[in-house]
């Protein structure tokens, strides 16, 4: 039982109800399998106040034994498990994200999606469909016997990011340098041997945008979960969690950052601003 805060009034992060309790965003059985104390300080990140209705819906998300098995063993019991893990991961990260300052989904949008998926009103059916559409989830199995190498960074433009300037046809044409937004493009988490990277929905950079994102992730040893079954499972990879969480960034101005995953007009604006030519910036992806 969580001990801290039991006697304080807790507010549900989704609906604001004041009768919330501290709930586990990750299943306690999974945390125990990974050798973690579900109520200890090292797992505090995975606990959040929820009302009973939304917690009930959240618990249902974890009742997927094949997903839990894949997380704890690295092996998928069946080919569909990779896709189910991708959905599970997106919702778990979204729930974790709204309680933190940074998230790969703009907060208001994430709250709307979460309230549909885990409705706080008893009797209201959870929304169906793929609400996290456009989100890409990557994974690898960590190999701690080798040191991780430095990774390039890839700038992306996130959908719903208020820093991305749209034209009258709702197409991305530029960016605001300062708006106080605390968005990150991606977030990474390690559970046992499994490393997960979630990248928020992006504006496309042109033909085969998703395939080129997957190639960028593959350079870090990460496999797109939607393709993992076809590719024969997850790779074992030397991993730096910090480097992987910065693999995709919303900041195109770092010298290590490749910009060919940005929409064309934003790319042109970045090139004009930095004086980089396409030869320099795009050479690695030719
Ligand atoms: Zn609630």
pLDDT in tens, 143-163: 989 888 888 899 999 998 888
pLDDT at 210: 96
pLDDT at 277: 52
* CA 132 to centroid of ligand 1, rounded, Å: 20
* CA 10 to centroid of ligand 1, rounded, Å: 11
Nearest to 158 by CA among 131, 135, 177: 135
Q: Does the structure show a pLDDT above 70 at 15?
A: yes
pTM of the model: 0.88
CA–CA gap between residue 81 and residue 87 (Å, rounded): 10
| 87-133 pLDDT per residue, tens | 999 999 998 888 777 788 888 888 888 998 888 987 777 776 565 78
* CA 125 to centroid of ligand 1, rounded, Å: 14
* CA 187 to centroid of ligand 1, rounded, Å: 24
Interacting residues of 155 by C-beta distance below 8 A, sequence separation 6+: 185, 248, 249, 250, 251, 252, 257, 258, 259, 261, 262, 270
* CA 270 to centroid of ligand 1, rounded, Å: 42
* 8-state DSSP, 143: -
CA–CA gap between residue 174 and residue 164 (Å, rounded): 6
**Domain residue ranges of the chain, discontinuous segments joined by +:** 134-285
Residue with tokens 């998300």: 61
CA–CA gap between residue 77 and residue 75 (Å, rounded): 6
* CA 61 to centroid of ligand 1, rounded, Å: 16
* CA 256 to centroid of ligand 1, rounded, Å: 42
Tokens of residue 106, six digits: 């703009």
CA–CA gap between residue 202 and residue 219 (Å, rounded): 19
* CA 66 to centroid of ligand 1, rounded, Å: 28
pLDDT at 131: 57
Give me the half-sphere count of Cα atoms (radius 13 Å) on the Cβ side of residue 190: 17
Q: Does the structure show a pLDDT above 90 at 45?
A: no
Categorize the per-residue pLDDT at 204 as very low, low, confident or very high, splitting at 50, 70 and 90: very high
């Amino acid at each position: 039982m969580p001990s801290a805060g039991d006697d304080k009034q807790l507010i549900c992060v989704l609906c604001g109800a004041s009768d919330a309790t501290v709930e586990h965003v990750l299943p306690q059985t999974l945390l125990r399998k990974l050798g973690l104390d579900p109520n200890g300080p090292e797992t505090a990140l995975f606990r959040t106040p929820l009302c009973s209705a939304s917690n009930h819906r959240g618990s249902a998300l974890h009742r997927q034994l094949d997903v839990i098995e894949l997380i704890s063993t690295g092996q998928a019991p069946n080919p569909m498990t990779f896709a189910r893990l991708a959905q599970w991961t997106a919702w778990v990260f979204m729930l974790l994200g709204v309680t933190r300052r940074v998230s790969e989904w703009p907060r208001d949008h994430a709250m709307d999606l979460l309230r549909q998926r885990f409705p706080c009103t008893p009797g209201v059916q959870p929304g169906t469909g793929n609400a996290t559409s456009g989100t890409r989830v990557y994974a690898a199995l960590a190999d701690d016997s080798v040191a991780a190498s430095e990774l390039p960074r890839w700038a992306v433009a996130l959908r719903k990011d208020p820093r991305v300037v749209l034209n009258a046809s709702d197409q991305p044409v530029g960016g605001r340098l300062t708006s106080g937004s605390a968005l990150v493009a991606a977030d990474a988490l390690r559970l046992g041997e499994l490393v997960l990277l979630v990248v928020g929905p992006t504006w496309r950079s042109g033909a085969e945008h998703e395939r080129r994102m997957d190639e960028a992730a593959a350079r870090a040893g990460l496999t797109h979960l939607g393709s993992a079954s076809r590719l024969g499972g997850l790779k074992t990879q030397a991993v730096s969690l910090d480097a992987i969480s910065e693999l995709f960034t919303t900041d195109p101005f770092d010298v290590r950052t490749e910009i060919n995953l940005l929409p064309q007009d934003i790319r042109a604006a970045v090139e004009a601003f930095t004086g980089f030519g396409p030869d320099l910036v795009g050479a690695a992806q030719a």
